[in-house]
Amino acid sequence: MQLSRTSRWSLRTITYLTIGIVYLPLAIVLVLSFNDSNALVWPPRGFTTHWWSTLTDVESAREALATSARIGIIAMLIAVVLGSLLAFGLQRFEFFGKNTLSFLAVLPIALPGIVTGVALRNTFVRFGWDLGYLSVVVGHATFCIVVVYNNVVARLRRLSPNLREASADLGAQPWQTFRYVTWPLMRSAVAAGAILAFALSFDEVVVTTFTAGAGVSTLPQWILNNFSRPNVLPYVTVVATIVMVISLPVAWLAQRLSDGPRER
């Protein structure tokens, strides 16, 4: 398609400007974590590493981090098992209600988090189950299933049915085809789904707020609670920077994994 020089130039400018805008707030957080002030304002007043060096003294942050990691791992495990099974079942079999089920699978992220949160909270309270770790895990797993499902089903759709047929022609039993053909080709998508599910759980705040009891505080909740406390606020920027620095390469890895093996 022929484009004038001006339109090419403006499209490129818009793209790189967008990238700049996307990273600007992240850069601001990074800079403010070294700011010699306990207010989230610009420009920074002076340089200090005080917040970074005394971070380990903030016990509540450590506890929140441990809570988030624990919840994230359990929710991820549930989501990996259920999401992969669902993707496999929906991709491999034809049955009545299949379309409804695949629609149902994306519903937990198509409906606002506040609906999921209020609905699950209501169920827990109605049945007299305590709000705590377990209820948060159930809430997180519900939307994490979707992430794993999406990743795995996209991969399974790309796999040629010829491979399965070739495997069967070579005399493989269905479980052997799965073990030696399908699984090696889908496992990187499962891994990517797992990483994204953990990341989603680690960052989630709405469903968490409604399903967590008084004793459970995840990292996002710790952030939420401490933004209004001037003496903890600088530590929030430090924790935020650390989370950012860790999660960006991990998200990049997840993207690489979900691209999958190259076509041969």
Partner 1 sequence: MHPVHRVGQRLERAPGLVPGLSRFFGARRRLALGTVVSGPLLWLVVVYLGSLALLVTSAFFRLDDFTGKSTSEWTVDNLDEAFTTGAYRTLVIRSVLIAASATLVCICIALPVAFYISRLARSWAKRGLVVALTIPLWAGYLVKAYALRAIFEPGGDNGGGFLNSVLGASPGFGYTATIVTLAYLWFPYMLLPVYTGFERLPDALLDASSDLGAGTLRTFRSVIFPLLIPSIAAGSIFTFSLSLGDYITVKVVGGTTQMIGNIIERTLLAPNQPLAAAFTLWPIGIMIVYLAVMGRLGAFKNL
Residues 150-209 that bind partner 1 (CB under 8 A): 150, 163, 166-167, 170-177, 180-181, 184-185, 196, 199, 203, 205-206, 209
Of 66 and 248, nearer to partner 1 (C-beta) is 248
Of 40 and 73, nearer to partner 1 (C-beta) is 40
- CA–CA separation, 175 vs 74, rounded Å? 27
- 58 is written with which tokens? 């903030």
Write the DSSP symbol of residue 65: H
Task: Name the minimum Å distance from CB 59 to partner 1.
Answer: 20
- CA–CA separation, 255 vs 36, rounded Å? 37
- CA–CA separation, 38 vs 186, rounded Å? 48
Q: Which of residues 27-86 bind partner 1 (CB under 8 A)?
A: 28-29, 32, 37, 39-43, 45, 81-83, 85-86
Residue whose tokens read 């991709």: 91
Stretch near partner 1 under the rule CB under 8 A, chosen from 54-62, 65-73, 120-128, 129-137: 120-128
Q: How many CB atoms lie within 10 A of CB 30?
A: 16
* For helices 133-158 and 98-110, angle between their N-to-C axes, nearest 10 degrees: 130
126 binds partner 1 (CB under 8 A): yes
1 binds partner 1 (CB under 8 A): yes
103 binds partner 1 (CB under 8 A): yes
φ/ψ of 165, rounded to 5, equals: -65, -40
Of 31 and 62, nearer to partner 1 (C-beta) is 31
